[in-house]
């Protein structure tokens, strides 16, 4: 049985009949322990889909116009607020694009991880030990000392590690990584992705990776969903999609990626007229 099943999801912003749909008839499934990449350009509806999974979009302006989101057999769009809150963080956890502003600037990182643990795993007595363990697993050295650091005292890569530690401390079944490395430089990107891969192997956690970086997708994901103008235009096993993309948008998107050793005067630009 699928861990997450999204069926014909439709989301609009603003008044009825006025705005174009941000997400239009999106359906996909994620099995337990699977890594799925959601790829698309800015504004294609990737992040909106991700936030909709736990109803994080402020409503209004967002309206869920159609569809179902089933997580572990529970209908997320109908779930009462209380149960939804319990699932946020412990069922589906998020890490976001900008670690520097996703951490609360006025609290120490230890305090913030403590809050997450207290909220979702109240049965844990030795919270400090658990925080140290969480920081250890994401490869932060001297966690006992780092506990009392404020976010601004850490580098971007370290901040993202802390975000991951905080997300994992609640033992989620699905981790939604919304462009987790976009704000980081390339070497740190690699470190963070390697870390995620390693952590995934240790637990049976599924990952929904949202990105526009095909390099990450090839290296990381079992399956790919390509999103364009609020619709999923192509999906399949990563190797399959990358090797012979069927939809013209996917093809265009892959062609945009500059290749090493290939002389190119001009980077390819997506020709929208040819797609529609």
Footprint of other proteins on this chain (CB under 8 A)? 51, 54, 56, 60, 81, 85-90, 93-94, 96-98, 101-108, 115-116, 119-120, 148-150, 153, 163, 166, 170
Nearest Cα to 214, choosing from 245, 183, 192?
245
Least distance between other proteins and beta carbon 2 (Å): 22
Q: How far is the CB of 53 from other proteins (least distance, A)?
A: 10
Provide the minimum distance between the beta carbon of 74 and other proteins in the complex, in angstroms, as a whole number: 15
Which one, 127 or 150, has the nearer CB to other proteins?
Answer: 150
9 or 166, CB closer to other proteins?
166
| Pairing, β 223-228 against β 35-39 | parallel
Q: Name the minimum Å distance from CB 58 to other proteins.
A: 9
Nearest approach, Cβ of 70 to other proteins (angstroms)?
A: 19
Which residue, 163 or 208, has its beta carbon nearer to other proteins? 163
Shortest reach from residue 239's CB to other proteins, in Å:
32
Cβ 29 vs Cβ 18: under 8 Å: no
Kindly tell me which of 166 and 232 has the beta carbon lying closer to other proteins.
166
Closer residue to other proteins in complex, CB, 114/212: 114
Instruction: Report the residue number, 50 or 216, with the smaller CB distance to other proteins.
Output: 50
Phi, psi of 37, rounded to the nearest 5 degrees: -105, 135
Shortest Å, Cβ 102 to other proteins: 4
Closer to other proteins by Cβ: residue 122 or 258 = 122
Edge-to-edge order in the sheet of strand 35-39 = 92-95, 174-178, 206-211, 35-39, 223-228, 231-237
User: The tokens 């364009």 sit on which residue?
Assistant: 228
């Amino acid at each position: 049985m699928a861990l997450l099943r999204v069926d014909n999801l439709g989301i609009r912003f603003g008044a009825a009949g006025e705005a174009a749909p941000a997400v239009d008839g999106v359906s996909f499934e994620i099995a337990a322990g699977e890594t799925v990449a959601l790829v698309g350009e800015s504004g294609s509806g990737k992040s909106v889909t991700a936030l909709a999974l736990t109803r994080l979009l402020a409503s209004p302006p967002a309206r869920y116009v159609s569809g179902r989101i089933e997580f572990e057999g529970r209908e997320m769009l109908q779930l009462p607020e209380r149960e939804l809150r319990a699932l946020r963080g412990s069922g589906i956890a998020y890490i976001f694009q900008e670690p520097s502003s996703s951490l609360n600037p006025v609290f120490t990182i230890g305090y913030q991880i403590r809050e997450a643990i207290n909220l979702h795993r109240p049965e844990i007595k030795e919270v400090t030990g658990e925080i140290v363990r969480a920081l250890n697993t994401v490869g932060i050295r001297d966690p006992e000392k780092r506990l009392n650091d404020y976010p601004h005292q850490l580098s971007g890569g370290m901040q993202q590690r802390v975000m991951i530690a905080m997300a994992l401390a609640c033992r989620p079944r699905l981790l939604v990584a919304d462009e987790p490395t976009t704000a980081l430089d390339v070497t740190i990107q690699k470190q963070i992705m390697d870390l995620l891969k390693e952590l995934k192997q240790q637990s049976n956690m599924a990952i929904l990776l949202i990105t526009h970086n095909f390099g990450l997708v090839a290296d990381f994901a079992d399956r790919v969903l390509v999103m364009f103008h609020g619709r999923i235009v192509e999906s399949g096993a990563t190797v399959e999609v990358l090797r012979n993309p069927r939809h013209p948008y996917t093809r265009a998107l892959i062609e945009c990626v500059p290749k090493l050793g290939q002389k190119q005067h001009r980077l390819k630009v997506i020709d929208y007229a040819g797609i529609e």
